[in-house]
Amino acid sequence: MSIYDINKLLKCRYIVSKKEKKQMTHKKKKFRLKMKKNSLLRKIIIVGILLIVIFNVLRYAAYFKKDNPNDILIIIQNDSSIKFQNEPYIDDNGIVYISEADVKEYFDKNLYYEKDESNLRRYISVSDNKVLAITENANHMYVNGVFTKMKGNVLEKNNIYYFPISELEDIYNIKVNYMESPKRLDIERLSESKKIANINKDTNLKYKMTAISKTIEKLYSGDMVTILEDMNNGWVRIKTEDYDVGYVKKSKIVNIKEERGEFKLYSEVYTDFNFDNDITIEITDEQYANIDERISNYDLRAELIKELNEKLVKEIANVSENSKNLGLIINISNISNTENYYRFLRELKAYLNSNGCYLIVKNQSNLDKTKLKDAVNIII
């Protein structure tokens, strides 16, 4: 083989080697790209799995929620999600106190106070048919003007005023129950219906409507429970005798019955009045020209209410004999302080309704009809 042939062969091999090298480089690049794609896909899959895990952890975490033993579970009627603005206070005698803000939120939105001659707060609260006057630090109260002793009092703690709600059950028509361990405050509205039942087979009270949820309490056959809500999916929300709230299967309860029916409030009862047949007494500007002065504070309003109430008492006997209703019509237009007027009407209505009489008020152009509707039985 000549030198020329050898050089030609070497040149061909060099060309082939270069081509092979190029192909190898291309294959390596293709392989690396594939590996990168696979790596990205693996990362996406891993991230997806992590997201699913995190979602389910968050989703089911509430099913196993742990209660803080220092927190008070507050239940008002069927609502166990109540959050008071201020922590309830229980004194050494077991009297339950709740703050002024929470009384306004749940029992009397129109609660107010006036300073007395000793510069103490005297709170006035009006319920369906009762007027409460209670002064801070005093162990007594006046209900519809009647002196009543009490163990607790309105007290101030850290610039917050607290009311002895467990001693005001008759005022707000409620029943207050407190359990120290675990901490439970249960307040029933006695004007609202109540259903009870029995557990027919040992079961668990669940935090959520699922078998995997946290067990709040073990329930036994025969235990009595209060039905708060039928969830219409095979579960019912109940309250136990220890004031725990949770869910059980509807098949686990029997003997469902109404322990207490719904009671109509006076504001719902005193709506129908026959002006052609029933008896009315009308109060006008001519009789009470100085109305603003006479309703300027609670004491003066109480005097005027007593005076008006005495006018009606004389007619009550005639009403009873003739099976007729009795209504007091307030037709006064010379009102400057409307807020005092609304307070006067609310307090007057409670007295009248407690005696079976209607409060009927003539609307005036300077009055807020919404506030007026809340303060009287009938607007004309």
Same domain, 256 and 277: no
What's the domain range around 25?
3-58
* Most confident range, picked from 28-42, 259-273, 361-375: 361-375
Residue 29 lies in a domain: yes
pLDDT value at residue 3 = 58
Whether the Cβ atoms of residue 327 and residue 279 lie closer than 8 Å to each other: yes
The CATH number of the domain holding residue 228 is 2.30.30.40
Residue 219 lies in a domain: yes
Same domain, 271 and 367: yes
Domain finish residue from 260, 291, 308: 260
Same domain, 152 and 93: yes
Provide the β-strand partners of residue 131.
126
Residue 188 lies in a domain: no
Whether the Cβ atoms of residue 261 and residue 192 lie closer than 8 Å to each other: no
Whether the Cβ atoms of residue 189 and residue 77 lie closer than 8 Å to each other: yes
The alpha helices in 76-194, defined as continuous H runs, are 100-106, 169-172
Mean pLDDT of the chain: 86
pLDDT value at residue 49 = 82
Q: What is the pLDDT of residues 211-268, one digit of tens each?
A: 888 999 999 999 999 999 999 999 999 999 999 999 999 999 999 999 988 876 666 6
pLDDT value at residue 91 = 94
Q: What is the pLDDT of residues 157-203, one digit of tens each?
A: 999 999 999 999 999 999 999 999 889 999 999 999 999 999 999 99
Q: Per the structure, how many domains does the chain have? A: 4
Q: What is the pLDDT of residues 284-340, one digit of tens each?
A: 988 888 899 999 999 999 999 999 988 888 777 766 667 788 999 999 988 999 999
Residue 336 lies in a domain: yes
Same domain, 132 and 234: no
Residue 183 lies in a domain: no
Same domain, 209 and 271: no
Contacts 24+ apart (CB under 8 A), 41-44: none
Which percentage of the chain shows pLDDT scores above 90? 62
Which percentage of the chain shows pLDDT scores above 70? 82
The CATH number of the domain holding residue 375 is 3.20.20.80
pTM for the whole structure: 0.78
Q: What is the CA radius of gyration of the chain?
A: 37
Same domain, 210 and 254: yes
Distance CA(2)–CA(96), nearest Å, equals 118
- Residue written as tokens 């603005």? 85
Same domain, 277 and 306: yes
Same domain, 198 and 101: no
Distance CA(154)–CA(133), nearest Å, equals 11
